[in-house]
Amino acid sequence: MAEAGKVHRATTTAPVNIAVIKYWGKRDTNLNLPANSSLSVTLSQKSLRTLTTATCSESYTGPDSLILNGEEEEIQSSKRTQACLRNLRQLREEVEAKDGSAPKLSKMPLRLVSANNFPTAAGLASSAAGFAALVRAIANLYELPQTPQQLSLIARQGSGSACRSLMGGYVAWRSGTKEDGSDSLAEEVAPVAHWPEMRALILVVSADKKGVPSTAGMQTTVATSSLAPARFKDIVPARMAEIEKAIQDKDFETFARVTMQDSNSFHAICLDSWPPIQYLTDVSRAAMNAVETINRKAGKLIAAYTFDAGPNAVIYYLEPDSRAVAGVFKNHLPRVEGWDNEFGAAIRSNEMGGLDSKAVMTLKNGISRVICTAVGGGPESVETHLVDESGKPVEGT
């Protein structure tokens, strides 16, 4: 039985994932069912992570609450958040029904406190890490037996790409075909240990919120783009097969080509929407130009750019090519914040010539920080709680 007034706590971290085959467009907006499958690389939590503490107590009054980065969030009107909480409570009720001595946590109000170590809503997949951390933390609080794959069905309803952040390594989100969404879930394609050399350099163009939110943008594209149907039906399924084989074979050249092709395809259907959706900027295009020059100089594909629904460039490369790829950017952006973590510090500057001078100047003027990171693992339970034993948020969170 629960101790009267006891605050039950569980804290977890969850990673950001950056898709190489993009999710864009929904076949069911209520259930967050995608128009196509997608595939992502889970990034190291040493660089990017959400930390979430889930608590409940008989002593709590009022509705469930969430504090994100020190600000109270309105979650009662959020259908996505409420869907996650409802599903998790139902699973806890099943645990309580089987074990009469289990505390009735499902009946207690939840107090959730969450903090990101990166800008929210800046095109860095904050909602993916956020909902993955929320679902995993509550699942741990409730001591649920469900696997990460089973929990991905719940996280998906909060944020589509969140289902991929419940696992580490290389993760596919299968679009599924069932109307109830029961087969639209995440699946590990390969663990971190299979291809640990994968690195990512993120060029942060702007920490401002993006102009067109993803949900609204997707609906516009599905409704108006003449290019989107071919992407959903033919192009993405072929690319999924090709990139999954490339990951299994550790074939970076194919991985790089498909990654860049799919990023370009995604932004093409955005531009083909009406009114057109433009996430890329001159700084984004300068980064693309630099990657193309690096690959041309190498005589093969050693770097791959990809852009989500925002201007930030994510550049994938393998660790042995760090100097040839990331070193070029470090040479031109030496004073930009972000090179001082364990991944960035290992990168040696490279004065490779041949970069377009206008592109270099655009990068110098437009990049506010870099994030050096690598492929990483899934959510982790930690004992650094954001809520103290009395139920109060820890100062500074």
Pairing of β 65-68 and β 110-116? parallel
* Proportion of the chain above pLDDT 90, given as a percent: 91
pLDDT band at 121 (very low <50, low <70, confident <90, very high): very low
Please report where in the chains the tokens 């460039």 appear, as a residue: 313
d(CA 304, CA 19): 12
Phi/psi of residue 317, nearest 5 degrees: -160, 170
Q: Where in the chain are the domains?
A: 8-191, 198-374
* Weakest-pLDDT range from 128-142, 194-208, 219-233: 194-208
CA dist 39 → 36, 250, 287, 391, 397 (Å): 10, 15, 22, 38, 32
pLDDT score of 301: 98
* Proportion of the chain above pLDDT 70, given as a percent: 95
pTM assigned to the model: 0.95
d(CA 281, CA 205): 9
pLDDT score of 119: 62
d(CA 365, CA 133): 35
pLDDT band at 209 (very low <50, low <70, confident <90, very high): low
Given a cut of 60, is residue 156 above it in pLDDT?
yes
CATH ID of 8-191, from 3.30.230.10, 3.30.365.10, 3.40.50.150, 3.40.50.300:
3.30.230.10
pLDDT band at 307 (very low <50, low <70, confident <90, very high): very high
pLDDT score of 166: 98
**What size, in residues, is the chain?**
397
Superfamily grouping for domain 198-374: GHMP kinase, C-terminal domain (3.30.70.890)
pLDDT band at 200 (very low <50, low <70, confident <90, very high): very high
pLDDT score of 395: 76
Given a cut of 80, is residue 183 above it in pLDDT?
yes
SS3 of the chain: CCCCCCCEEEEEEEECEEEEECCCCEEECCCCEECCCEEEEEECCCCCEEEEEEEECCCCCCCCEEEECCEEECCCCCHHHHHHHHHHHHHHHHHHHHCCCCCCHHHCCEEEEEEECCCCCCCCCHHHHHHHHHHHHHHHHCCCCCCHHHHHHHHHHHCHHHHHHHCCCEEEECCCCCCCCCCCCEEEEECHHHCCCEEEEEEECCCCCCCCCHHHHHHHHHHHCCCHHHHHHHHHHHHHHHHHHHHHHCCHHHHHHHHHHHHHHHHHHHHCCCCCCCCCCHHHHHHHHHHHHHHHHHCCCCCEEECCCCCCEEEEEEHHHHHHHHHHHHHHCCCCECCCCHHHHCCCCCCCCCCCHHHHHHHHHHCCEEEEEEECCCCEEECCCCECCCCCECCCC
Segment 321-348, tens digit of pLDDT: 999 999 999 999 999 999 999 999 999 9
Give the tokens for residue 133: 């951390």
Distance of CA 249 to the CA centre of its chain: 24
Pairing of β 8-15 and β 380-382? antiparallel
pLDDT score of 213: 84
Give the tokens for residue 178: 């069932």
Within 10 Å of residue 389's Cβ, how many Cβ atoms? Answer: 10
d(CA 14, CA 275): 35
